Amino acid sequence: MMNRRRVVVTGLGAVSPIGNTLEDILNSIRTSRSGIDFIENFDTKDFQVKLAGEVKDLDFEIYIDKKSLRRMDRVNSFGLVAGIKSVEDSGLDLEKVDRDRVGVYISSGIGGLQTIEEQKMRGMKSGYERVSPFFIPMSIVNMIAYHVASHFGFHGSCICPVTACAGSNSAIGEGYRSIKDGYSDMVLAGGAEASITPLGTGGFSSMKALSRADDRERASIPFDKERSGFVMGEGAGVLVLEELEHAKSRNARIYGEIIGYGSTCDAGHITQPNSEGIYAAKAMENAILEGGIDREQVNYINAHGTSTPLNDKYETVAIKRVFGEGYRDISVSSTKSMTGHLLGASGAVEAIVTLVSMMNGIVPPNINYRIKDEECDLNIVENRYRDEEVNYAISNSLGFGGHNVSILFKRWEG
């Protein structure tokens, strides 16, 4: 058995509806700025869904050459940019790192959906043997992790855990375990998603999962009694995870420490969460148990909080199951109220929001919250951030297929 080691976060990179730099993301948190607006990626004239959280003002060519971009789906580009940003932020000297000991764990819920749609149309028009020779590598989900690993020449474990909307939290958790158990010294962990396309929007809309609101302030409203579905988001988040002594040896800046990871499965309905919150609760409990803390020490939960009627209700049930009457003392927000739901990238972006907030002594808000729901009677951070020192925070992700993943972060005190 290998010695278990401590794991810290030393780099953050994001591409998101609320900003493409950490400074912009923090400013959005402080100003309760929403990234949700009318869809520009495609013409929504024939769609009931009109709103999404799209990435704005990102020049891919600053990070990726034109030739490579032409051979990537939008989701690959998002993931690679976030990966590059995370390594730049970490201050890592690539000439001094053992690249055989650096892993890449990057997830996506769906992968290259835009490419799949475009090549399907091309095949119908010109014949299927005329589709792009890059169709398969542009569309398959693992290629996001490949592009990041290839860009840096990282030869450690390269994995793409696909657990739907829990995907990037699964990546963070498995990357954490790889370092903790001695298999890696560093892991780039996170997720990317780019599914704001006609097919993606139509698919989620037809299953009644998306909000059809046309008011930007009343579309993504987690835990609000009038919530009616989630708002699609896009982007990517990548965290640099590092073994503590490795980080100290290079005087790395540390954002926080990961001390617990819980992963369970409802093994029930394909999309509907367990109504008693049993297994979502077990994921939180397992993370707390691994972290070696009392549940009363948790100050903040960045909830999955999709703004769908059942998710928010049953996540509330799960939180109460874990914390009992103490749930009233824990600040809770869903930052999907600002970003929309980034599917497989949501956990990574929310982890970044959580860490940046903890470092700055604040708790991010649940914006556009107006009408209390007696079935979601949590200690919601209503509309504006709170000045609050958080020592321990949980970030939850719950995915179709009953996947439940919780990550426990500890504030870094040096």
What are the pLDDT digits (tens) for 3-56? Answer: 689 999 999 999 999 999 999 999 999 999 999 999 999 999 999 999 999 999
> Span 382-388, mean pLDDT?
97
> Span 87-95, mean pLDDT?
97
> Span 112-121, mean pLDDT?
96
Yes or no: is domain 7-249 CATH 3.40.47.10? yes
Amino acid at the residue 271: T
Torsion over CA: 205, 209, 214, 220 (sign): negative
pLDDT tens profile 124-133? 999 999 999 9
Mean pLDDT of all residues in the chain?
96
* C-alpha separations of 75 from 143, 162, 195, 198 in Å: 9, 14, 8, 15
Cβ atoms within 10 A of the Cβ of 189, count?
A: 36
Q: Which residue has the tokens 């290259």?
A: 112
* C-alpha separations of 41 from 1, 196, 205 in Å: 50, 7, 16
Which residues are identified as catalytic?
Answer: 165, 304, 341
pLDDT tens profile 144-178? 999 999 999 999 999 999 999 999 999 999 999 99
* Residues of the chain above pLDDT 90, percent: 98
Q: How many CA atoms lie within 13 A of 408 on its CB side?
A: 24
Counting Cβ atoms within 10 Å, is residue 368 exposed (0-12), middle (13-18) or buried (19+)?
buried
pTM for this model (two decimals): 0.96
Residue 165, C-beta contacts closer than 8 angstroms, at least 6 positions apart: 109, 304, 306, 341, 343, 344, 346, 347, 397, 398, 399, 400, 403
Q: Domain spanning 258-411 has what CATH number?
A: 3.40.47.10
> Span 283-295, mean pLDDT?
97
> Span 216-236, mean pLDDT?
97
Is 399 a residue whose pLDDT tops 60? Answer: yes
d(CA 281, CA 279): 5
d(CA 393, CA 353): 11
Torsion over CA: 87, 91, 95, 101 (sign): negative
Q: Are 380 and 223 in contact (CB under 8 A)?
A: yes
pLDDT at res. 3: 60
**b/e string for 271-281 if b means 16 or more Cβ within 10 A?**
eebbeebbbbb
* Residues of the chain above pLDDT 70, percent: 99
Q: Which residues pair with 15 in a beta bridge?
A: 236
d(CA 274, CA 281): 10
Is 321 a residue whose pLDDT tops 90? Answer: yes
pLDDT band at 189 (very low <50, low <70, confident <90, very high): very high
pLDDT at res. 1: 36
**What are the residue ranges of CATH 3.40.47.10 in the chain?**
7-249, 258-411
Short-list 7, 4, 10, CA closest to 259: 7
Amino acid at the residue 165: C
pLDDT tens profile 334-370? 999 999 999 999 999 999 999 999 999 999 999 999 9
pLDDT tens profile 298-320? 999 999 999 999 999 999 999 99
Residue 331, C-beta contacts closer than 8 angstroms, at least 6 positions apart: 299, 300, 301, 363, 379, 381, 386, 388, 390
Short-list 176, 304, 298, 308, CA closest to 244: 176
